[in-house]
Structure 1
Amino acid sequence: MSSIAASARIHPLAFVEDGAVIGENTVVGPFCRIGPRVVLGSDVEVVSNAVITGLTEVGNGCKIHPMAVIGGVSQSLHEAGEDSKLVIGENCVIREGVTMNTGTVGGGGITSVGDRCLFLANSHVAHDCRLGNDIILSNSVMLAGHVHVADRAILSGGCAVHQFTRIGRQAFIGGLTAVHYDVIPYGMLNGNPGVLGGLNVVGMTRAGIERSVIHQVRRAYKQIFDGDGSIREKAAAVRDEFLDCPEALEIIDFIGAESDRAISSPFRGKA
Structure 2
Amino acid sequence: MRFPGNTIHPSAFIGPDVSMGTGNTIGPFSYLDGSIALGNDNKIWNHVVISGNIRIGDQNEFFPFSSIGLTADIPGSEPPFRADGLINIKNRNTLKSYVHIQSPMRTDLTSIEDDCYFMPHAYVAHDCKIGSFVILSGGAKIAGVCILEDYVNAGVGAVVHQRTTLGESCFLGMNATVTKHVPPFAIVTGSPARILKLNRRGMEKRGMDHLDLDDLENRFTTLLGNIPDETHVVYKKWNAFFERYPNALKSFHKS
Asked if the contact 1:16–1:36 (Cα under 8 Å) also holds between the matched residues in 2, the reply is: no
Deviation at 1:45, TM superposition (A): 0.8
More helix by share: 1
Q: Helix, strand or coil for the counterpart of 1:81? A: coil
Deviation at 1:255, TM superposition (A): 1.2
Structure 1 residue 90 corresponds to structure 2 residue 91:
yes
Number of the residue aligned with 2:117? 118
- Superposition pairs for residues 65-214 of structure 1, below 5 Å? 65-76=63-74, 77=77, 79-83=79-83, 84-104=85-105, 106=106, 108-210=107-209, 212-214=211-213
Which AA in structure 2 matches 1:18? Answer: P
Q: Helix, strand or coil for the counterpart of 2:212? A: helix
Which AA in structure 1 matches 2:250? Answer: S
TM-score (norm 1): 0.87
Asked if the contact 2:181–2:245 (Cα under 8 Å) also holds between the matched residues in 1, the reply is: no
Question: How many corresponding residue pairs?
Answer: 251
Pair 1:4–1:102, CA change in 2 (3 A): farther
Asked if the contact 1:112–1:130 (Cα under 8 Å) also holds between the matched residues in 2, the reply is: yes
Structure 1 residue 250 corresponds to structure 2 residue 250:
no
Asked if the contact 1:5–1:25 (Cα under 8 Å) also holds between the matched residues in 2, the reply is: no
Which AA in structure 1 matches 2:52? Answer: G
Deviation at 1:40, TM superposition (A): 1.3
TM-score (norm 2): 0.92
Number of the residue aligned with 1:263? 248
Structure 2 stretches lacking a partner, 5+ long: none
Asked if the contact 2:113–2:132 (Cα under 8 Å) also holds between the matched residues in 1, the reply is: yes
Report the RMSD for the aligned CA atoms in angstroms: 2.0
Number of the residue aligned with 1:58? 56
Structure 1 stretches lacking a partner, 5+ long: 226-230
Pair 1:164–1:78, CA change in 2 (3 A): farther
Pair 1:252–1:97, CA change in 2 (3 A): same
Which AA in structure 1 matches 2:30? Answer: C
Asked if the contact 2:200–2:217 (Cα under 8 Å) also holds between the matched residues in 1, the reply is: no
